[in-house]
Amino acid sequence: MPPKPPAKSVLSPLQKALGKLGLRRDIDFALHLPLRYEDETRIVRLADARDGELLQIEATVTSSEVTFRPRRQLLVTVDDSSDTCTFRFFSFYPSQQKALAVGTRVRARGEVRGGFAGWTMVHPNVQPAGAELPTALTPVYPSTAGLPQTYLRKAVLGGLARADLSETMPGAVAVNNVLEVPWSLRAALDFLHRPAPDVALAALEDRSHPAWQRLKLEELLAQQLSQLQSRRVREGLRAPALSTVVEGLHRRLLAALPFALTAAQRKVCAEIADDLAKPLPMHRLLQGDVGSGKTVVAALAAAVCMDSGRQCALMAPTEILAEQHFRKLIGWLEPLGITTAWLTGSQKTRERRAMLALIASGQAGLVIGTHAVIQDKVQFKNLALAIIDEQHRFGVAQRLALRDKMVEAGLEPHLLMMTATPIPRTLAMSYYADLEVSTIDELPPGRTPIVTKLVHEIRRDEVVGRIRVQLTQGRQVYWVCPLIEESEALDLANATETHAALSAALPGVAVGLLHSRMPVAEKRAVMARFVNGEMGVLVSTTVIEVGVDVTNASLMVIEHAERFGLSQLHQLRGRVGRGAAASACVLLYSTGDAPRLGDTARARLKAMVETSDGFEIARRDLDIRGPGEFLGARQSGAALLRFADLATDAALLDWARYAAPVLLDRHPDLAQKHVERWLGAKAEYLKA
Ligand code: ADP
Ligand code: MG
């Protein structure tokens, strides 16, 4: 008999879900803080309830029936002797129905609504009445699919009990002296996980409570420390010093460009050239609004690199974007005698082999591509500069891999990262302790401002009329379909439907469809037709989010604009207004079943109508997004802040900037412990 195969170590779905949240060590659990709290410590009398309040009642079931009008539902009426309330369940199990039999006494939690027929609760959480009431508020933790709060709560409390929470901020850097935050880490965490019911909930929820302050300080300190550590490491490394030569490529490219650089572009080019000329690895973030002209800055940096006889790599997050860069750059560089290699995942083997040979021999001075650029097989002859577009869309590992492509012993490549989601410059400078920041703060001249209009969905026909007008003027139109959280299938259905409707409404017009599920070749073909002007309207899911540059497109319609984030809306709008033609952006919105838009959605759309300045948009985005929504990964990519909010916690950031070098110099062991505690595996990130 063959031996039994060894049991594979399989993670349970719950463990997997915990892993997804980054919860592994005890300390990770201890630092997994509640999003909000529910008050289950009290039973409220229905007579004292307020409309819309989330509350807990105890009452006796007086009737229970399944009705079919307007749709199948379970209706249960309860009476708590002060008033009555009706529960509605649109989906329910027989067991639930049983647990709500007439005469049963239940405890129910939910939002009460007062209508003409008395109080109602839709899908309240029901359990038997009479269990002991908790003495602390019930935390609600950030979670993920398949991970029940009850399980997560237990896991967090377990981690909290076991974790080493000894202080890492002694003497000279003690918070207590500096900021008067009289909370130890242990006390702050105990409190935040199990606050007493009499606490001011507002201070907890807006995170101004001293316990929160303490946690934010810790987090910011970890961030600053780790960036400082990697800066010090980097300062000890060496890179090839790159500089232009007389009559070299850089000069010739400048002379050949069909436009003059803006003052802002000249300034950032000079900052980059200064860095490249030093024998230290550059680590610079180039931020500039959509359409501000970052590509040419990248091209000029690449030219400096090639002037020094070395190779440059440019990596973009999507194939469409990489291809755009490729076309633009060969347009500029090929006439100047530069060979550019092209690498993507979808490439044919033969073509790829040819490209790899060009790269290895050094014949290709510039390599452009997607993640394919960092694959093992790619061997550079002498890579010296790596440029990463839309850097926040790349992970740490990918950035590290690009750096590892530098083959010369003891040397590091220079790194230029580009992003179109700027954060205000002063914030960026103090936050990124290990990153220089260059900012393009003006658009190229001759752009006509984009007019942005808010249009209710019921006026969709008028929008189609506008499209016709644009088309007869020879212009092109984008129509972006909504993002339906977590459901690619629905996204797709919606885009397909819109595509069909527009095709029908615009006979004789080529209407294309682009979505993320399409094979790359097909995507590319559609995009090519739009770029060539063969296609009048491009219906798309958010795949065109970044970087696409079709100057003839003059109208952008965004459907269900209320579902998009502000910076994403701004990015999308940036796809038009790239030429001199007057351009417009129509934000189609819907309020669903509600009478009007929610406050945040309204604030976002209002900001879009009022300004098209990316920095102003970024500022408003910070204002609109409540605390807890971090500026991190999504916004800038470089931040990993979970708790602190750079917009409101500038004072804490200042403190952390002051404290980090002190702690690092005087108590390196504690500094290390602090970083590991907070960043754990993520600490690797900051070395990227
Ligand atoms: P982004 O910063 O969003 O990547 P691009 O580099 O794609 O912007 O530039 C947007 C458009 O502006 C491109 O068509 C580019 O060729 C053009 N452009 C860039 N710089 C200038 C300039 N100084 N004058 C005129 N047009 C420019
Ligand atoms: Mg770009």
Domains of the chain: 42-128 (2.40.50.140), 249-440 (3.40.50.300), 450-611 (3.40.50.300)
Q: How far is the CA of 244 from the centre of ligand 1 (A)?
A: 23
- In short, whether 580's Cβ falls inside 6 Å of ligand 1 is no
Residue 102 sits at φ, ψ, to 5 deg, of -55, 135
Ligand 1 centroid – CA 76 distance (Å)? 63
Which residue's alpha carbon is nearest to atom 22 within ligand 1? 444
Would you place residue 128 in the very low, low, confident or very high pLDDT band (cuts 50, 70, 90)? very high
Q: Which residue is associated with the tokens 């205000």?
A: 424
Q: How high is the pLDDT of residue 260?
A: 95
Ligand 1 in reach of 262 Cβ (< 6 A): yes
The three-state secondary structure class of 677 is helix
Q: How does pLDDT run across 86-125, given as a tens digit for each residue?
A: 999 988 888 888 999 999 999 999 989 886 678 999 999 9
> DSSP states of 301-363 as a string?
HHHHHHHTT-EEEEE-SSHHHHHHHHHHHHHHHGGGT--EEEE-TT--HHHHHHHHHHHHHT-
- 3 state SS of 642: coil
Give 418's contacts (C-beta < 8 A, 6+ positions apart).
285, 286, 287, 288, 294, 298, 387, 388, 389, 390, 391
Q: Is 575 in the pocket of ligand 1 (CB under 6 A)?
A: no
Q: Is 578 in the pocket of ligand 1 (CB under 6 A)?
A: yes
* Ligand 1 lined by 290 (C-beta under 6 Å): yes
What pLDDT digit, counting tens, does each position of 165-195 carry? 998 887 545 544 555 556 889 999 999 999 9
Q: Which atom of ligand 1 is nearest to the CA of 260?
A: 23
**Which band of pLDDT confidence, cut at 50, 70 and 90, is reported for residue 685?**
very low
Residue 470's pLDDT is 93
Q: Which atom of ligand 1 is nearest to the CA of 551?
A: 14
> Which two three-digit tokens encode residue 31?
């630092």
Q: Residue 649's CB: how many other CB atoms inside 10 A?
A: 23
Choose among 372, 343, 333: nearest CA to 249.
Answer: 333
Digit-coded pLDDT (tens) for 287-311: 888 888 999 999 999 999 999 999 9
User: Is the shortest distance between the CB of 370 and ligand 1 below 6 Å?
Assistant: no
Pocket test for ligand 1, best of 549, 571, 615 (most atoms within 8 A of CB): 549
Which range (88-102, 485-499, 515-529) has the least confidence? 485-499
| pLDDT for position 176 | 45
CB 312 within 8 Å of CB 305? yes
Nearest bound ligand to the CA of residue 549 = 1
Q: Is 566 left (phi over 0), alpha (psi -120 to 50) or beta?
A: alpha
Q: How far is the CA of 568 from the centre of ligand 1 (A)?
A: 19
Which ligand approaches the C-alpha of residue 328 most closely? 1
Task: Give pTM, 2 decimals.
Answer: 0.72
With a cut of 50, say whether residue 605 has pLDDT above it.
yes
Q: Which residue minimizes the CA distance to atom 26 of ligand 1?
A: 444
Please tell me what DSSP assigns to residue 381: S
Whether residue 288 has its Cβ less than 6 Å from ligand 1:
yes
Residue 287 CB less than 6 A away from ligand 1: no
Q: pLDDT-based confidence at 340, cuts 50/70/90?
A: very high
Interatomic CA distance for residues 298 and 303, integer angstroms: 9
How far is ligand 1, taken at its centre, from the CA of residue 579, in Å?
Answer: 9
